[in-house]
Amino acid sequence: MGIFEFTVGQPPMTYLVSAINNNKYKVIEMLFTQNKTLMATAFLACTAQTVIADAADRVASSESTSRRMLEEVVVSAQKVEQSSQDVPISLTAVSGDFMREVGATGLQDIAPYIPNVRFSSDTDPALAQINIRGFGSNPLNSAFDSSVGFVQDEVFFNRPSYYNEAMFDIARVEVLRGPQGTLFGKNTIAGVFNVTTKGPTEELAADFRINKTDPDEVSYEAGVGGMVTDWFGVRVAAQDISRDGQLHNQFLNRQDDEHEQNAQRLKLLFLPSENISVELMGVTSETSANYWGLQLMNLDEGTSAFLENYDPDIEGDPYNFKGSYDQSGFLDKTSDTLSMKTDWDIGPVGVLNNLNMVLVLADTELTIDSLVDLDTSPADLAALAVVSDYEQQSAELRFTGTADSLFGIGAGVEFVLGAYVFDSRFSQRTQITAGSDFGAYLTTDDALQLVSGQTSVSSGGLLGGLNLAGIGLISDITGAVIGEDYLQLDYLLNVDAQAIFAQMTWALTEQLIVTPGIRFSREHKVADASGKGVCQTAALGTPCLMELALSAEDYDERGLSRKETDVSPKLSLQYYLNSDTNVFLTYARGYKSGGFNASSFGGEDLGFEPEEAATIEAGFKGEFFDNTLRLNAAVYQTQFDNLQVLAFNGAFFDVTNAASAISRGLEMDFMWLTPFEPLSIAGSLGLLDAKYDSYPNAPAPVTSGLNANQDLSGKRIAFAPEQSASITPTLTLPIFGLAMRASVDYLYQGNQFTDGDLDPNSYLEGFSQISARISLGSWDQRWALTLGGSNLTDEKVLNQVLDTVFFPGSYNARQKSGRKVFASLSFAW
């Protein structure tokens, strides 16, 4: 199987390649046979032209020669800083400089440049779904731990919402594909985003950037810091983003994805001695948004007739950036993080040439308060209010060191040995409240279909035969009679976990290196979960209408408990063909912990089991032509067992273990400083074949009836584009003593399903987008003025299509951002 990966380095990018087992030729042949036209085009294009970072950033010139060279890309993917070319795993590293160059304000903006990585939304400030190699966790049920780990400044964050936090003052982002359980622990079963921000520098340094985007969006980012004395340094950074959004709510006459975010970070560096450093960091972020940016799609005749009573212009076109909600939805999110990192260079100890100790302590809190229009329509049917609070404390102690050999064998040893402790508390209250038009809704066929589970009924709804002509009167009467009527779900989860881990890099010879690793983990979860209907009619023995409509039942489960232990091993073999080229073969295992459903309507089957994955990948990393071409590639195969999946329950998604799956693929990336000195070319390519190995009782599309099942064994997995590619040529030329840099990005993402039941309505064709930038500034990048844009051809693309709650057979769609153009001005000194 094959995989090619693309790496964006410190100032620039880098690229990595990995190849896999004895079946690699068979798998590659299979992938290319299935997709030969696109594959041939993409591959030839990749080897012909690409660029992602400017030439100046990637060039290291010697004083005695004008020969250009690629800069080394330093990463911390193995808990120590080393060249990305020496890491025997499939990774991509994106520099902060590149993020600023393309106008990126979050991780979602760089995902298109990374093979086999997909973000579900580029506008949602809370519900981030990230898939690597086809696997990720749907955030619509908060019981799900993330399949893709998020680490920032050596702190692991266990909630997916942290992915949407402000990304500013970034030094680099490393994307590690495949299970990373040995060094990063649980919930990294699909991969890891490892983010490093800037710290105090030896000399005073500052940078500032303002970015103005049309449609209306303005962002500011600034950072300043340095060593104040020989023993004390500081860096302060901040970001402010204000966006009007592109989705217009015609009912409320407002932009429903309007978004404001501001964040600040303070780093204090203390050097009490020559070999000890202590870094204190505090980060705070606040986000507010109109919420939640969905559009109705494929409205049937009956649904349209009902909704036209509230908005005569209602329609189901998901590509026009128009919605119609009666509820003024909002989201307020705040996060605060404190951390301390102590680094002690102990020095030589016994047979060790050097020993280093690192201790990382962290405390973080995340609160989210949201209200959304659950029916996403102009009728006042139901409002969904969710309030959650998350707290986490963690500590990691690790030792690293080197020795000349292991028991006198080999040419050198490096090791990492550590322990990790984690404790978290998560609480959430969810309320689904009936609106003033809910009684009128009960006269519709949609209501009867929702309750009966049949999608072909037609008998005048639950209230039977009432004419829509009197819909306004019905709303007035039933609204007064129903009064307050809501379903309330409460969820509390406490987690404590401990782990010890070790990894050793052992050079058996100067060319052959073996890297074994292992992690022992223990986790204990305790949860309370309850649901109840609250209404004025309950005293009369009449069921609450919202509870009835959603087929919910009262339940109260306390002290739910589960204990898990896990062993995650890793083994890599790496062989250096020469000083610039190596091949590797890696086996790794990871797991994602089990838990308890946070959105159950009936309290049944609350628990779900842990998910496990084992991967094998083979790779190649090389630099050629006097270090002007860097080419990295890999092939892989990953087997998932006890796959955690979501089944639509009428309003949310229940978590179950229902499947095993297998993912095979190929990734490639490269960077080339061409013989034509002004031109640099970079690119990436990903091929993905992710399928359910066994999934006999999968949820069926709503057209088969609510709660119907189907067999998806052998079928594709949702959110798994078959191909992804990026090509970026960059041209750097002198103009009047200044540097002019021009780049064009061609970005492609293949066809895919965006709902777990593989509903044909959720199928998205492959699409391509073009972005471009031109900048003028000083050669040392002290200042630059940039004009650019993304999706310049204004491609109409959907990010996701999901079933609606109250209108069976209709859908909610989220549209990707349309054309954007921007101007930015940056200064650095």
291-325 residue pLDDT tens: 988 999 999 999 999 999 999 999 999 999 999 99
**pLDDT value at 538 more than 50:** yes
- pLDDT recorded at residue 32: 33
Give pLDDT, residue 656: 83
Rounded Cα gap, residues 352 and 345, in angstroms: 13
Separation between Cα atoms, residue 129 and residue 140, nearest integer Å: 9
Exposure string over 25-42, b if 16+ CB within 10 A, otherwise e: eebbeebbeebeebbeeb
**Phi, psi for 141 (deg, rounded to 5):** -120, 115
Q: Is the pLDDT of residue 343 over 70?
A: yes
- Backbone phi and psi for residue 458, each to the nearest 5 degrees, phi listed first: -160, 90
> Residue 61's pLDDT band (boundaries 50, 70, 90)?
very low
Rounded average pLDDT over 522-533: 97
- pLDDT at site 60: 39
User: What is d(CA 729, CA 158) in angstroms, rounded to the nearest whole number?
Assistant: 37
Q: Report the alpha-carbon distance of residue 645 to residue 569 in Å, rounded.
A: 25
Could you give the CA distance from residue 440 to residue 481 in angstroms, rounded to a whole number? Answer: 12
pLDDT digits (tens, 9 = 90+) for 588-604: 999 999 999 998 998 98
- For CA atoms 508, 511, 512, 517, give the dihedral sign: positive
Q: How far apart are CA 507 and CA 727, in angstroms?
A: 36
Other residues' Cβ atoms within 10 Å of the Cβ of residue 742: 18
Per-residue pLDDT at 666 exceeds 50? yes
- Cα 304 from Cα 549, distance rounded (Å): 20
pLDDT for 762 beyond 80: yes
Nearest-CA neighbor of 590 among 572, 612, 609, 608? 612
Contact 94, 172 (CB under 8 A): yes
Instruction: Reply yes or no on whether the pLDDT at 680 is more than 70.
Output: yes
Beta strand segments in 404-479, E:
412-434
Q: Tell me: pLDDT of 827 over 90.
A: yes
For 16-44, write each residue's pLDDT tens digit.
333 333 343 333 333 333 443 333 333 33
pLDDT category of residue 542 using cuts at 50, 70 and 90? confident
Location of structure tokens 């280093």: 356
Tell me: pLDDT of 46 over 70: no
C-alpha–C-alpha distance, residues 226 and 202, integer Å: 6
Element (H, E) at 478: helix 471-482
Distances from the Cα of 712 to the Cα of 190, 570, 642, 689, 802, angstroms: 21, 31, 15, 15, 18
Q: Cα 163 to chain center, whole Å?
A: 6
Average pLDDT, the chain: 87
State the greatest distance between any 2 C-alpha atoms of the chain, in Å, as a whole number.
92
- Dihedral angle of Cα 140, 146, 150, 151, to the nearest 10 degrees: 130
Residue count (the chain): 829
Please check the confidence at residue 12 and state whether its pLDDT lies above 50: no
* Each residue's pLDDT tens digit, 175-201: 999 999 999 988 899 999 999 999 999
Q: Tell me how crowded residue 61 is: count the other CB atoms within 10 A of its CB.
A: 11
Give the rounded percent of residues in the chain with a pLDDT score beyond 70: 88
Please give the pLDDT value at position 327.
94
The whole-number pLDDT of residue 652 equals 60
> In the predicted model, what is the mean pLDDT of residues 684-700?
94
pLDDT in tens, 790-813: 999 999 999 999 889 899 889 999
pLDDT for the residue 461? 55
Question: Span 405-416, mean pLDDT?
Answer: 92
Q: Is the pLDDT of residue 11 over 60?
A: no
CATH architecture classification, 4-828:
Beta Barrel (2.40)
Query: At 66, is the pLDDT very low, low, confident or very high (cuts 50, 70, 90)?
Result: low
Examine the pLDDT at 50 and tell me if it is beyond 60: no
Q: Chain-centre distance of CA 726, in angstroms?
A: 18
Grade residue 63 by pLDDT with cuts at 50, 70 and 90: very low
**Two structure tokens written together for 239:** 């970001």
User: pLDDT tier at 449 (50, 70, 90 boundaries)?
Assistant: confident
Ranges 12-16, 61-65, 165-169, 733-737: which has the least confidence: 12-16
| CA neighbor of 526 nearest in space, from 499, 504, 496, 494 | 494
- Check: CB of residue 164 under 8 Å from CB of residue 157: no
Percentages (nearest 5) of helix, strand, coil residues in the chain: 10, 55, 35
| pLDDT surpasses 60 at 562 | yes
**Residue 623 above 90 pLDDT?**
yes
Query: What is the model's pLDDT at position 111?
Result: 93
Q: How far apart are CA 745 and CA 726, in angstroms?
A: 7
Residues 156-185 have a mean pLDDT of: 92
Measured CA to CA, the distance from residue 685 to residue 666 in angstroms comes to: 8
Quote the CA–CA distance of 221 and 50 in Å, as a whole number. Answer: 28
Q: Is the pLDDT of residue 7 over 80?
A: no
What is the pLDDT, as a whole number, of residue 537? 77
Confidence (pLDDT) at 34: 40
